[in-house]
Chains A and B, each alone.
Chain A
Amino acid sequence: MKELSLFLGCLIPNRYPGIEKATKLVLDRLDIKWSELKEASCCPAPGVFRSFDRTTWLTLASRNLVLAENKNTDILTICNGCFSSLMDANNILKNDETARDEVNTHLKKINMEYKGTIEVRHITEFLYREIGAEKLNHAIEKPLELNVAVHYGCHLMKPTKDRKLGGAECPVFFDELVEALGAVSVPYEGKTSCCGAGGGVRSAMLETSFEMTGYKLTRMKKAGVDCIVNACPFCHMQYDTGQAELAKAGKKYDLPVVHYSQLLGMALGYSPEEVGLHLNEIVNPEFEAKIRLIQKQDLSAV
């Protein structure tokens, strides 16, 4: 297996940098070899750019892939959208000679060539496959006794044929990763349903997208969870800003939104501030107090 280049994308560095920091902290702590994928651009976002112009989408994605090829590293994504764009583009370019030739005629203008020598990973499936839930459970310091609503996000699992992470109707791998940190993944209605953000719906039809978000939030709340755990900054933003927006209309959920990197960070002993939880729109002091209490407990006495 190659070493990893961390692909940041747009949303994490530019809107939720706490997730970036948390990711770097946990990679270092777990002794996973990584470096920055310098000079990368937007993946580019699958729901919008892929549907506007496939060639442009493939070409920009190929440049990001080549940046990693030139370092002989795999790409590590921390966003379902980046994962989807880069993995799909990589699969297409590896298998479709015509597409590869077309992309390479564009890449030639910047002295690059796509060769198809690397893989694209997502932090959750990387941890699950390369470390495993059991070992992760041994590595953590503070089992987080929380009830959690796990949100996979559409593009992490689907299309299942390409993702190869099991079925999308009742997926389990992400729940196992969350439970490895001492939390309980609480079942809730509509668990595999979309957060509402994708496909350019959020940018063009914000209110409609929040209706889909409200559907999910209501069911999560009913299940009595402490927080939402996601694997994607776009879902993260949708739940976070969606709650702020819905609160104006009198619907209060107060559910902290936590990216898996942040949850893992806290299980490794980093404070809620260190993983950037306070940078969310929805800040729930009770939740943070609960985490702090868990982190203060002296585990050596148990």
Chain B
Amino acid sequence: MKNPEILTCFQCGTCHASCPSGKYTSLNVRKIIRDSTRKDISEEPELWMCTTCYNCQERCPRGIKVTDCVLTLRSEAVKKGIILPAHRKVCAFLIETGHAIPLDEKHNSIREKLGLGMPETVSKYPKALKEVKTLLNSTKFPELVNE
């Protein structure tokens, strides 16, 4: 990753010490920041263990946008075709329905019982869904995330 800001990192470890995920997983964001200046870390599974909570970014004494760096590193990995199967599925939902979590039968009937009817979203308006699909094709998202 090309980002001059992270060269100011002095490896204090405040980021890692603040990381909720690092308590339970092998994610060490201090190491991610260091390694990203030296080599391609697109294959590191730890990139996907971050909950994007922003603790590290808030507390970094050098003002490094640590969480944003993780996001950038992830998108670099995705460009190389590295994307977890579960995340491909979420992308497929978005491409197909315009929602990451689409409406299903069960919740549609719950809505009816609550007197809500169909949500006023792309779920209800085919023309709107078509617009979303046009935009996704325009940014070449399906090509990026499909296997």
- List A residues at the B interface (Cβ < 8 Å): 8, 10-11, 13-15, 17-18, 20-21, 36-42, 44-56, 59-60, 63, 106-107, 109-110, 112, 154-155, 158-160, 168, 193-194, 196-201, 203-205, 208-209, 211-212, 215, 276, 279
Contacts and interface: CB of A to CB of B under 8 A. Distances in A.
Interface in B1-54: 20-21, 23-25, 48-54
A40 B120 CA distance: 8
Contact of B114 (A18, A49, A198): A18
B134 interface: yes
Given A46-B52, A204-B48, A208-B49, A10 B99 contact: yes
B100 A55 contact: no
11 contacts: A10-B102, A14-B102, A14-B107, A17-B110, A40-B120, A109-B134, A109-B135, A109-B138, A154-B55, A159-B67, A198-B52
A41 B134 CA distance: 13
B54 A159 contact: yes
B19 to A, nearest CB: 9
A160 B58 contact: yes
B87 A154 contact: no
Contacts of A10: 99-102
Given A20-B116, A45-B100, A109-B135, A158 B58 contact: yes
A60 B132 contact: yes
B116 A17 contact: yes
A102 to B, nearest CB: 9
A236 to B, nearest CB: 13
Q: Which of B53, B127, B135 has the most CB of A within 10 A?
A: B53
A52 B78 contact: yes
A63 B100 CA distance: 16
Contact of B24 (A38, A46, A208): A208
Interface of B: 20-21, 23-25, 48-55, 57-58, 67, 70-71, 74-75, 78, 83-84, 86-87, 89-91, 94, 98-104, 107, 110-111, 114-116, 119-123, 125, 127-129, 131-132, 134-136, 138-139, 141, 144-145
Given A198-B53, A201-B21, A48 B58 contact: no
Given A13-B119, A52-B145, A158-B57, A42 B98 contact: yes
B66 to A, nearest CB: 11
B135 A107 contact: yes
Given A47-B51, A59-B139, A203 B21 contact: no
Contacts of B74: 51-52
A201 B116 contact: no
B111 to A, nearest CB: 5
Contacts of A59: 135, 138-139
Given A14-B119, A212-B51, A52 B91 contact: yes
A282 B13 CA distance: 38
A242 B25 CA distance: 18
B90 A203 contact: yes
A265 to B, nearest CB: 13
